[in-house]
Structure 1
Amino acid sequence: MNSTTMNMEIYLQLTQFYQDYAAAVDAADWDSWIEMFADDCTYRIQSRENHERNLPMAALSLDGKGMLKDRIYGITETIFHDPYMQNHVIAAPRILGLSPDLIEAQANYAVFRTKNDGIAQVFNVGRYIDRIRQTADGLRIESRICVFDNDMILNSLIYPI
């Protein structure tokens, strides 16, 4: 298999991975969402301004699968909030770097939110900046930074982006 064929195969796997991610979050399939991450992962949701200025402030910052599990426990068991549904639209990813076991990629996203008694509205727009590890068990997110374009997030940020 030549490198072009191999790169196309990786690209198709990565594209499917991004769509599986969106499906898991949109369906609130939190077990599947957590399993998409490496054990020692980083997950951060940060404004474009803070990201570009290399400032550490983030709307949400989780390190390791344990913190992801804690967040999901909070969402499902302890946080009282007005429920809403999310729908992700993720653009085709761009591979920025590729090594035998690591993919560096970016993809634009838009998240629409719909409450039971309302209409759909744009909730969050931005890009994923990812480091994705190729493992024997499939692709796993080592680092995901969700850099959102809007200065403010509608209400509060409950579910992952």
Structure 2
Amino acid sequence: MIAFDTWQAIVTLLAKAGNTVDAGRLDDWLDCFAEHATYHVLSRENYERKLPLTLFQCDNKNMMRDRVLSLREANVVNIHRDQHVTGLPEITDRGDGSFDVTSAYAVYQTDQGGFSRLFSAGVYYDNVSVADGRAAFNARRAVVDTFAIQNMLSTPI
């Protein structure tokens, strides 16, 4: 059984990851990741077949920082607002100070005209470390069921 304070730190991390993107606070989103962390978005089909092709891939936090800078400076298309909905996590203690965390998600986007639609749905497969009451992603994989993305994949899922 996982200690309540560990569970709480992990659930807080999951909420912060979605809420910071939704609020446009991408520097705070970066704070959700350990310095050595990875972030990948891949289709369910490629995940199940163990194929390496991703829709989006950052192999370290510096790549994530570059992506945030690009979103601020260069990508001024597809102006929208995101809303993440994340299910309760299943948490497994790996026994090495990290935890495997699985949770379903849905991301809705609302355009400038106020029209909302489902943008992406799938599952997060995360590896999380908890130290001093604070959780951080070591690895985040968003496995998307809706990989036929209608608009540019710009903001993090």
For Structure 1 versus Structure 2, the TM-score category normalised by the shorter chain is over 0.9
Q: Hey, what does 1:111 align to over in structure 2?
A: 107
Check if 1:14 corresponds to 2:6: no
Q: Hey, what does 1:45 align to over in structure 2?
A: 41
- Aligned in 2, Cα 1:71/1:137: closer, same or farther, shift over 3 Å? farther
Give the CA deviation at 1:137.
7.2
2:51 alignment partner AA = L
Matches within 5 A, 1:68-107: 68-99=64-95, 101-107=97-103
For the residue of structure 2 that corresponds to 1:99, the secondary structure is coil
Higher RCO structure (Cα 8 Å, ≥6 apart): 2
Fraction of identical pairs, as percent: 28
Give the CA deviation at 1:105.
0.7
Displacement over 2 Å in runs of 4+: 6-9, 96-100
Give the CA deviation at 1:7.
2.2
> Unmatched 5+ residue regions in structure 1?
none
Give the CA deviation at 1:135.
2.8
Q: Hey, what does 1:23 align to over in structure 2?
A: 19
Number of residues paired by the alignment? 157
Cα deviation, 1:66-125, whole Å, max 9, x if unaligned, reads: 000000011010123121000000000101334252111100000000011141100000
Among 32, 37, 51, the alignment partner of 1:36 is 32
Q: What is the RMSD computed on CA atoms of the aligned residues?
A: 1.5
